[in-house]
Structures are given as C-alpha cells and as structure tokens.
Amino acid sequence: MKSRNKQAPLDDQLELSRLSTMYSEFVSVLDDMPPSLQSSVILLRDNESPTEYQPISFTTQRYRIQTMFYCAKLLVVHECIRFELPSIIGLHNERSASTREELNIARDFVHTLQSVPFHYLRGNGEPGIELIRAVGSVLLEISQNSNDESHQQRGHTLLNITLNILAKLNSQASDKLIEQLSNASVASFPSNLSPD
C-alpha cells in the first residue's frame, strides 16, 4: 500500500507535466498556419490574379480559426484556474496574474470579432455565436468576482462590447448571456460598474 501512495504523487506530477506539454503545443497551433491564413492581407504570387472568392474564403477561415482558438484557450485557462492548476498553463498561484491572462485572451478574441466585417460574424451561425457567449460568460464572472477593480472594469468593458455584438446578431446565445447577466445580482457590481 505504501508503494501505491508513493506512486500517486508521481502519477499526478506526470499527468500535470503531460497536460502542460499539451497546452504548450496547443498555444503554438496558430504559428503553424499557412501564410495565407496568418495575415489579414492576402498575398498573391506575381503571376496570380485573385478570384473573387479567395479573399472571402481566407478571411472566413482565418476568422473561424482565430475565434475557436481564442475561445478554447480562454476556457482552458479558466478551467485550470478554477481547479487551482495554474502551473499547467505556466502561471503561478497568483489570482491577479491569472485574471490578467484571461482578460488578455478575451481582448484578443474581441479584437478578432471587431477586425472582420459584421456579415462574417453572422455567417458563422449559432455555433459561432455560442463561442462569443462562452467568452462573455467568463467576462461576466470576472467583472463580478475579481478583487481587482481594474480587472473588473476591463472585464466589464470587454463584456459590453461582447453584449453589443451579440445583440446585433439577435441570437439565442445573446438571449442566454443577457439572461445570465440579468440574473446576476446587481449588488455584486461595484457602483461604477452597473450591468447596463
């Protein structure tokens, strides 16, 4: 039985190491995208003329890849923090740094949303909109629960942008997030951060 107890911490360390390696591989996935998808500027060879669908296809692919990536990254970081396993994602057990990382990822997500024409957002349908709602839920949690007022303010600002985008999309996901926001206790917001 003693050997089994000694084995458990070793197994836990191996699992944490494996998860950390997987996270490192995941965050580098965008580095391996083809050049045509890495830049918002479509590069053509000297003798190549674009057909009308190419720029639209590349923009659509890049947008979808980036939004899925940032949403997945944010949710992984959020869950690691929630289960008190920040070392998997290279963070220490400092809540402020963890929240800052979540906000930076959410900012990248929101900037991606703002960088494409609105019809690209609409073209992703409910699955794409559900990604926006998931990010909005994390932002709502930060804006209500962070002990750092600057993090609350930043979370609230990004949440408002997300809510405005969802409202324009007039989707089921926006209804869910707005319901979640209205169910949140107004008292949990600092006086300068009302949920309006």
Range 48-51, long-range pairs (CB < 8 A, 24+ positions): none
Let me know if residue 38 belongs to a domain: no
Model confidence at 3: pLDDT above 90:
no
pLDDT for 172-181, tens place per residue? Answer: 666 777 777 7
Q: What value does the mean pLDDT take over residues 4-17?
A: 74
Instruction: Report the distance separating Cα 73 and Cα 195, nearest Å.
Output: 26
Domain that includes residue 18, residue range? 1-32
Q: Give the residue among 149, 74, 138 at the shortest CA–CA distance from 108.
A: 74
pLDDT for 108-126, tens place per residue? Answer: 999 999 988 888 888 888 8
Do 23 and 92 reside in the same domain of the chain?
Answer: no
Let me know if residue 72 belongs to a domain: yes
Do 63 and 2 reside in the same domain of the chain?
Answer: no
Helices (H), the chain: 2-27, 35-38, 53-82, 95-114, 118-123, 125-145, 149-169, 172-183
Cα 125 vs. chain centroid, distance in angstroms?
18
Q: What value does the mean pLDDT take over residues 161-177?
A: 81
Number of domains observed in the structure of the chain: 2
User: Could you tell me what percent of the chain has a pLDDT over 70?
Assistant: 77
pTM score: 0.77
How far lies 130's CA from each of 23, 156, 196, in Å? 23, 19, 21
User: Could you tell me what percent of the chain has a pLDDT over 90?
Assistant: 45
Let me know if residue 43 belongs to a domain: no
| Per-chain mean pLDDT for the chain | 81
Model confidence at 65, pLDDT cuts 50, 70, 90, reads: very high
Do 68 and 130 reside in the same domain of the chain?
Answer: yes
Model confidence at 186, pLDDT cuts 50, 70, 90, reads: very low
Residues near 55 by beta carbon (within 8 Å), at least 6 away in sequence:
42
